[in-house]
Structure 1
């Protein structure tokens, strides 16, 4: 994972970034009309189409994150005691960013590490 957050929240973050990128491109495109007049219409048209494609990508990412969210396993985080969703075998808590796993082979127990050092 890239940002050390839950996988569902990362998908939503990418959807938000695509939305902001698409809107920024569309605003940049309309500035072509303001600054160049008639010649800026082509500039505006191109940037409007690219911005629209980025907005459609964001809709796709949000839809994909929503579909993944409906099939995610819900469990209670041992750190913050809140319900969180987990995708795959390992994920992070959506609230406190604690590493969670459903695979007992990948789980670590902090108490065992303390007793081994002592």
Structure 2
């Protein structure tokens, strides 16, 4: 449960990872020009800059998609922490306390889990 989060936060995490990865790829690619590797360095820099640009553009699309999902998400109050959280789909997690939430009564689990010995 430590690494689980709400769907909106997951999309934002992937967008951030692609942004940072794309910028890192661009920085690595610039080594061909900075260290003066000649024509092959320029080719390497061009390839890495294009790959980094593609990664940043994909992350921009993911951020846009997450924003559009966030505007149409249902805002509910978490029963555990009492904070308002956005929910996408039938089940999601609280953005703050990571509690599993659902609006579908068939998927709701009202029983507390029993500890196995």
Alignment TM-score > 0.5, same fold: yes
Q: Name the residue aligned to 2:110.
A: 109
Q: Provide the rounded CA distance (Å) in 2 between the counterparts of 1:96 and 1:27.
A: 37
Q: What root-mean-square deviation, in Å, do the aligned CA atoms of Structure 1 and Structure 2 show?
A: 1.4
2:9 aligns with: 9
- Normalising by structure 1, we get a TM-score of 0.89
Ranges in structure 1 where 5+ consecutive residues have no aligned partner: none
Q: Which runs of 5+ in 2 are unaligned?
A: none
Offset of residue 22 of structure 1 = 0.3
Aligned residues: 111
Residue of structure 1 equivalent to 2:25:
25
Residue matched to 2:91? 90
Secondary structure of the residue aligned to 2:79 is coil
Instruction: Decide which structure has greater helix share.
Output: 1
Aligned to 2:34: 34
Q: Deviations over 1:56-78 (max 9, x none)?
A: 00000000000000000000000
Runs of 4+ in 1 over 4 A off after TM superposition: none
1:24-66 CA-partner distances (Å, limit 9, x unpaired): 0000010111224432111101100010000000000000000
- Residue 110 of structure 1 deviates from its aligned partner by 3.4
Q: Distance in 1 between matches of 2:15 and 2:58?
A: 8
TM-score by length of 2: 0.89
The equivalent residue for 2:62 is 61
